[in-house]
A and B are shown apart, each in its own frame.
Chain A
Amino acid sequence: MADRSHIKGSLDAGSGSSSGKLTPSYLDPDYRVFGDGMTYKSVTDKVTDIVLKLKTSKGWWLGFGISFMALQVLVISIIYLLIKGPGIWGVNNPSMWGFAIINFVWWIGIGHAGTLISAILLLVQQDWRTSINRFAEAMTVFAVMCAGLFPLLHVGRPWLAYWMLPYPSTMGIWPQFRSPLLWDVFAISTYLTVSVLFWYLGLVPDLATLRDRAVKKAKKVIYGFLALGWRGSAKHWDRFTTAYLILAGLSTPLVLSVHSIVSLDFAVSNLPGWHTTIFPPYFVAGAVYSGFAMVLTVMIPVRHVFGLHDILTLRHLNNMSKVMLAMGLVVAYGYAMEAFFAFYSGGQYEIQAFQNRVFGPYGWSYWALILCNVAIPQLLWFRRFRVTLVPLWMISNIINIGMWLERYVIVITLTRDFMTSSWGYYVPTIWDWSLYLGTFGLFFTCTFLFIRFLPMINVFEMRELIHHVKHHEHHDKAGHGTEVEVSH
């Protein structure tokens, strides 16, 4: 496994040295990656008991029930859509793109936190990622599933969606390789495949733990089947670590490429307000922004309900808030540059598109976007807002809304193009809303099932982390002759 010596540095980052002697920073609650008294056993118990021992709580049933009902809204919306066609949506000339693409981009963006946390933070050895990566990866998979539905349904005849794949067909033609919409197909399918593999591979040792701890035969068989015969031998670990790093390496460029390609759906077209080079980086930043916001939105309640305070510490919340703040600033820079270049270009259509965006019939959405994505998140400069749960949860929700509005603002640029005679106004219908609501049902149904049936915290990595930190602590305290009890 990777060298962990840097952990000392990261743990000591906040330590004072008043008496000339370093105070070990892990004593400072803000810098802990896990709580007092966590041992191999307690962390394993804590996580696996949620799956194996604890009685399914009323809260879970309530949450699952609501999500499942929302999922039925999705099913009904899709069935009605298949019967009637996309005409039931609000999209029409000149705004041929509406909720479908807005929600697609929004959901894809949400997935990015998982990939960033799992892949990039793994490669740069940020150990605080350990307790959130599993959850964030699961969210990535579910979010990409939700996202994929929208373009699939928007093609009108989803059963022919395989036409988008390049295969030697009887039509004698290939897909249009110059179209970003085709790049999307590759980007999203690669993203989903790699995310699922990465998530599942990371689950294997923990599935084996569940298999070993399960009492009932059925659970043993199911978890045993999923654990792929994992026995935890040195050879297994060696191969596992190699495979995990390779997948992390594969995922890393995806963090940047997927949303860049999604942004090209807009940027490649010659539409004023869309045709800008800043789109790819600012879409990526926005994706990470909304991804972290969604992770916080979901994890703060989960942490509370399952009492995971020792595993998801304030340091995690603090760090995620800082990432959000940084990404929020990048996004704000993007908005500023859009405004600047609209006028700097001197192009009348560019200027007009921007004026429409800000003062036009949809001006409210632009200002709401600035409020949600730029103004309110500045509160995260204050430590109090980064580590107090309720305000942080509210800010993360506001960012979710803001990021949705961002895509809304971009897409409805379509309503006013070059010719005044063809200007229009886009109004989503009830079916646009129901499909969007329905994807929440899909997302949260999957999330609740995941919480109930799979270990939502990475147990083996937590154990490893505990080992390293305890080992470190042990050395620090060696002079005092203190022994750290590490039970297995």
Chain B
Amino acid sequence: MPQIFPRSANATARASILGSLLLIGGFLFFLDSFNRSNYQTNQSLEIVQPVMFEHTRHVAGNGLDCRYCHTSVEESHFAGIPPVETCMTCHSQILKGAPILQPVRNSYEMGAPLEWVRVHDLGDFVYFNHSIHIAKGMACVTCHGHVDEMALMWQENTLQMQWCLDCHRAPEKYIRPREHVFDLDWEPEGDQIAMGDSLVEAYNINVGQLTNCSICHR
């Protein structure tokens, strides 16, 4: 009776053991890498907006405070996207006829709001509130990065749950005095952790509670 399989089948069988391990391992590694990639998280991707608004010019150049435009950041869950009237407080005087501002003037005249593309888009299953973070000494720059250096806005961090929990588990690593939350260039004097520990206590932050599911998923 002739053999069913050629001699090389032995080698193939042995190789397939290693091969399938590599294949499965490689596939899992790919999935994990994909899940952490910018493609998946949108981290660091510059977003094209209907108006080429530059944070660099307005924040670093003109020295506008964050709250000049994002007015509700201290009272509301939502920091606020300024209405076109806010733009026109200056641009009715400055760069009056500039072509780059044509969409702004159109919007102002027609009463149709500008449709900005959302840069930081959390999942709908996440409850996030700006005001509490500001009130407890979490600075804009901690999450949003150096906005004053971004011509076009991008998402500075992954916004993955791991990233949220990094701070919720140990807020002392990032907390700063309330009066400096809007200061993009503030640096702690001395040890961040020592200062952080005392601020966490001073601001009555119950760290154990911060990782309850219902803090963010309501």
Contact = CB atoms under 8 A, between A and B. Distances in A.
B163 to A, nearest CB: 8
Contacts of B166: 172
Contacts of A221: 4-5
B1 to A, nearest CB: 8
Contacts of A220: 4
A211 B4 contact: yes
B160 to A, nearest CB: 4
A224 B158 CA distance: 51
A228 B5 CA distance: 11
A170 B4 contact: no
Interface in A137-171: 168-171
B162 interface: yes
Contacts of A170: 35-36, 158, 160-162
B10 interface: yes
Given A228-B13, A229-B9, A171 B4 contact: no
Interface in B118-168: 158, 160-166
A173 interface: yes
Nearest to B41: A170
A69 B42 CA distance: 46
B4 A224 contact: yes
A170 B10 CA distance: 41
Chain A contact residues: helix, strand, loop or mixed: loop
Contacts of A168: 32
Interface in A221-255: 221, 224-225, 228-229
A225 to B, nearest CB: 8
Contacts of A224: 4-5
A171 B4 CA distance: 51
Contacts of B163: 172
Interface in B175-196: none
Band of interface residues on A:
10 to 19
Contacts of B158: 170
A156 to B, nearest CB: 13
Contact of A171 (B9, B10, B13, B160): B160
Contact of B165 (A172, A211, A225): A172
B180 to A, nearest CB: 27
A172 B161 contact: yes
Given A220-B4, A221-B4, A229-B9, A173 B35 contact: no
B162 A172 contact: yes
Contacts of A211: 4
B177 to A, nearest CB: 27
A354 B195 CA distance: 58
Interface in B4-46: 4-5, 9-10, 13, 32, 35-36
Contacts of B160: 170-172
A186 B36 CA distance: 27
A165 B150 CA distance: 39
Contacts of B13: 228-229
Nearest to A222: B4
The interface centre, meaning the residue of A168, A172, A211 with most chain B CB atoms within 10 A of its CB, is: A172
A229 B10 contact: yes
A392 to B, nearest CB: 43
Interface in B30-77: 32, 35-36
B154 to A, nearest CB: 19
Interface in B76-135: none
B4 A173 contact: no
A197 to B, nearest CB: 14
Nearest to A225: B5
A171 B5 contact: no
Contacts of A225: 5
A158 to B, nearest CB: 17
Nearest to B40: A170
Contacts of A229: 5, 9-10, 13
Counting chain A CB atoms within 10 Å of each CB, which of B4, B13, B160 scores highest?
A: B4
Nearest to B164: A172
A197 B99 CA distance: 72
B195 to A, nearest CB: 25
A172 B169 CA distance: 11
A171 B125 CA distance: 14
A161 to B, nearest CB: 15
A138 B71 CA distance: 67
B207 to A, nearest CB: 15
Contacts of B5: 221, 224-225, 229
Contacts of B161: 170-173
A168 B161 CA distance: 12
Nearest to B36: A170
Nearest to B1: A212
Nearest to A214: B4
Contacts of A169: 162
A228 B14 CA distance: 10
Nearest to B158: A170
Contacts of B162: 169-172
Contacts of B10: 229
A228 B198 CA distance: 66
A201 to B, nearest CB: 15
A183 to B, nearest CB: 20
Contacts of B35: 170
A363 B52 CA distance: 72
Contacts of B165: 171-173
A220 B3 CA distance: 10
B170 to A, nearest CB: 12
7 closest Cβ pairs, A-B complex: A172-B162, A171-B161, A172-B165, A170-B160, A224-B4, A220-B4, A170-B162
Interface of A: 168-173, 211, 220-221, 224-225, 228-229
Interface of B: 4-5, 9-10, 13, 32, 35-36, 158, 160-166
24 contacts: A168-B32, A169-B162, A170-B36, A170-B158, A170-B160, A170-B161, A170-B162, A171-B160, A171-B161, A171-B162, A171-B165, A172-B160, A172-B162, A172-B164, A172-B165, A211-B4, A220-B4, A221-B4, A221-B5, A224-B4, A225-B5, A228-B13, A229-B5, A229-B10
Given A170-B36, A172-B165, A229-B5, 4 more contacts: A170-B158, A171-B161, A171-B165, A220-B4
